[in-house]
Structure 1
Amino acid sequence: MYNVLFFAHLQEEAGVESIQLDNAPLTIGELKKQLLEQYQFTLSKQVMFAINEEFAVDEDTIKDGDVVALIPPVSGG
């Protein structure tokens, strides 16, 4: 089991702050496909993924106990 955390507009689109999933191990790329199907997210290429607070790419593997964060671009001043 692993946790997926949503931030900013992704949290609004999902309707929750986080979810728990049981399908580890899988890659970030596989998780992206699953989330797009399940939540109809607006996942632009600028959305960053992190595993255990380390930025991750599509080929990185998620394991049981990991925390995955979806971090959309933010603007501010």
Structure 2
Amino acid sequence: MINILYFGSLVDAFDRASDELDLPPQVQDVQSLLFFLSLRGEPWARWLRNNPGLKITVNRKFAEGGTPVQDGDEIALVALG
């Protein structure tokens, strides 16, 4: 299971501040996690796909698309604007 925290504009857009998810096998890195979450439809896709203003941390360290994600991780997604 992973814990996802939402900050900034994402809290209002997603109407939640956090999620706990069982990590699906196809999610192995930040990029695949964002794609998986974007499959929830709008507004998820609009905020998570190709958003240069989106900042991501994995276990409180800044992360990029290729950063691995595994069970027990805490992922924070921050979007302003």
What range is the shorter-chain TM-score in? 0.7 to 0.9
1:67 aligned onto 2:74: yes
What corresponds to 1:5 in structure 2?
5
1:70 aligned counterpart, secondary structure: strand
Q: 2:68, 2:41 → 1: CA distance?
A: 21
Report the number of matched residues. Answer: 74
Consecutive unaligned residues of structure 2, counting only runs of 5 or more, are none
Which residue does 2:37 correspond to in 1? 35
When the two chains are superposed, the root-mean-square deviation of aligned CA atoms in Å is: 1.7
SS at match of 1:29: helix
- Identical-pair percentage: 26
- Per the TM alignment, residue 73 of structure 1 is displaced from its structure 2 partner at its CA by 3.6
CA contact (8 A) 1:13 1:39 kept: no
Equivalent residues of 2:9, 2:80 under 8 A apart: no
TM-score by length of 1: 0.83
Mapped partners of 2:8, 2:80: distance in 1: 9
Q: Deviating runs (4+, > 4 A) in structure 1? A: none
Structure 1: stretches of 5+ with no match in the other structure: none
